[in-house]
Structure 1
Amino acid sequence: MNQSKSESTHMTSPLLVHFIGAGPGDPELITVKGQRLLKEADIVIYTGSLVPKALITGLGATIYNSAGLSLDEVFAIILQGYNSGKKVVRLHTGDPSIYGAINEQIALLNEHDIPFQVIPGVSSATATAAALQTELTLPEISQTVIFTRRTGRTPVPEKESLDLLASHQATMMIFLSVGMIKEVVDDLRKGGYPENTPVAVVEKVSWPEERKIRGTLATIAELVTEAQITKTALIAVGRVLTEAPPPVLSKLYDSTFTHGYRKGVEPQ
């Protein structure tokens, strides 16, 4: 029997280990490619309670929860699966490139000559911007976004301390730090953000239980403490978060601005 071209290509394609970003929590925010690879997988190792159960329900794969596993234990599952000719998926929250701890796994894959591919996902940072219904960059307000965290059990390089980063007055998306909200506010003040700087905290963004708290540098610590938000939340900081219309509009759709697809008209 003749094989179709697609069947032949599929059968001869190399076996890869896939790192997949599951997105921030809403199971529909995984990429189409990531969802397809999940359905095709023989083994799925997922990241604890932060991966929505809907993504791993009904799969034909053997499922492992990595929450209680060490790096060596996770890799042992990957290695055994790959050597057995099985399709292995490592399912991470958000986008695996941001605080995803994938480099240490990649180093082991390279050491054992195991080919792999990383499939990006929707980060909780961009999902937070969507939940707050805003851009993270605005003309003449901020053209830079800083993804960072406050030092804690995991140290941060001295040159990347919050107060030094805050001196740029750019938009900041602060991960893994809401449990230290008072210290975060102190650092941001020390760095020079004014007291009226808009700050928002979004807990469990895109989950059914998502909560959004808006305030300013002067009020946010008290609001977050009252709400008893201590984890699984992202702190957004910057003038882009103001709910007022932007003072300067983008050039892209400005009728007086000429670009490669449109000739601008003289202002009246």
Structure 2
Amino acid sequence: MTSETLGKVWFVGAGPGDPELVTVKGQKLLAQAGAILFAGSLVDRAATLYAPPGCVIRDSKDMTLEEMTAWLVDQARTHATVVRLQTGDPGLYGALIEMARPLTVEGIEWAVVPGVSSAMASMAAAGESMTLPEVTQTVILTRVEGRTPMPEGEDLASLAAHRTTICIFLSITLMYKVEAALRAAGWPEESPMLVVHKASWPGEEKIIRGTLATIKGLCREAGVASQAMIVASPTLGALHWETLVRSKLYDPTFTHRFRKASA
């Protein structure tokens, strides 16, 4: 690269933990990257697995936002392809916009490669569906208030009042708040709950099933206190229900553009 040209920064979603869940496009970018800034121990395997020889690899776990953006800017002045490798999807509970703004100011081109969210990976690990016909068609991705406050109207109790599928991020240490919010929203004690620790991580994944009344104790017994997805949903356990409302798309009595209904 010449002094007049700048490289491009790619924000790549590494997925929930399994390095094979990085998208093909993400893998290709990692394989051609001159520099990779990865998010702590969460995605180090993907960074080292796909990075080419001689690639500059930096762990961001001890860096401030300003230090990360300065590093990305500096590397873009030297390398054509720079990758910021983030857990899950870059646009969900990441500092995407905060890091992208300084790049824009510096005239550095950037783009995003989406990743598999731990919400999807957790439901996949447990063999559950987020939506079911006439049960719920809505998924809420949220967290409970900790050191980061929630905007007005987004407290968990208000969201839980919709009785849809709720995937709760970054909140396993605040399970008592989760329970209190669900109860305040009228969820009964026997409501099914799911917690998945390190979804998709080879050899480390834990799946915990319980109810609103039991889930906190079950997580304590399993030693799960970090890196866990909490799911409350009326769809949980549907595999074993006696009856299900049939999907219209595949119902023989349903006509659509590719198939006419049978009698």
Amino acid at match of 1:98: L
Aligned twin of 1:248:
245
Aligned twin of 1:264:
261
1:1-268 aligned within 5 A: 15-57=7-49, 59-60=52-53, 61-207=55-201, 208-242=203-237, 243-245=239-241, 247-266=244-263
Amino acid at match of 1:136: M
Structure 1 outlier segments of 4+, above 4 Å: none
Gaps in structure 2 of 5+ consecutive residues:
none
- Secondary structure of the equivalent of 1:74? helix
Rate the CA distance shift 1:121–1:128 in 2: closer, same or farther, 3 A.
same
Amino acid at match of 2:21: L
RMSD (CA atoms): 1.5
| TM-superposed deviation, 1:85 | 4.0
User: Quick one: distance in 1 between partners of 2:44 and 2:236?
Assistant: 28
TM-score for both structures, normalised by structure 1: 0.91
User: Quick one: distance in 1 between partners of 2:226 and 2:107?
Assistant: 37
Residue deviations 1:192-218 (CA, integer Å, cap 9, x gap)? 222221110000000121000001111
User: Quick one: distance in 1 between partners of 2:92 and 2:254?
Assistant: 36
In 2, are the aligned partners of 1:173 and 1:237 still within 8 Å (CA)? yes
In 2, are the aligned partners of 1:26 and 1:52 still within 8 Å (CA)? no
User: Quick one: distance in 1 between partners of 2:233 and 2:183?
Assistant: 12
| TM-superposed deviation, 1:52 | 4.2
- Secondary structure of the equivalent of 2:176? helix
- Secondary structure of the equivalent of 1:241? coil
In 1, are the aligned partners of 2:47 and 2:85 still within 8 Å (CA)? no
| TM-superposed deviation, 1:55 | 3.5
User: Quick one: distance in 2 between partners of 1:97 and 1:182?
Assistant: 27
Amino acid at match of 1:131: A
- Which sits farther off after the overlay, 35-44 or 185-194? 185-194
User: Quick one: distance in 2 between partners of 1:49 and 1:147?
Assistant: 24
Aligned twin of 1:4:
none
User: Quick one: distance in 2 between partners of 1:197 and 1:148?
Assistant: 19
- Secondary structure of the equivalent of 2:47? helix
- Secondary structure of the equivalent of 1:104? helix
In 1, are the aligned partners of 2:34 and 2:79 still within 8 Å (CA)? no
| TM-superposed deviation, 1:59 | 3.0
User: Quick one: distance in 1 between partners of 2:77 and 2:46?
Assistant: 28
In 1, are the aligned partners of 2:142 and 2:167 still within 8 Å (CA)? yes
TM-score for both structures, normalised by structure 2: 0.93
User: Quick one: distance in 1 between partners of 2:6 and 2:107?
Assistant: 13
Amino acid at match of 1:240: T
**Aligned length in residues:** 254
Identity of aligned residues (%): 47
| TM-superposed deviation, 1:54 | 4.3
User: Quick one: distance in 2 between partners of 1:67 and 1:101?
Assistant: 13
Gaps in structure 1 of 5+ consecutive residues:
1-12
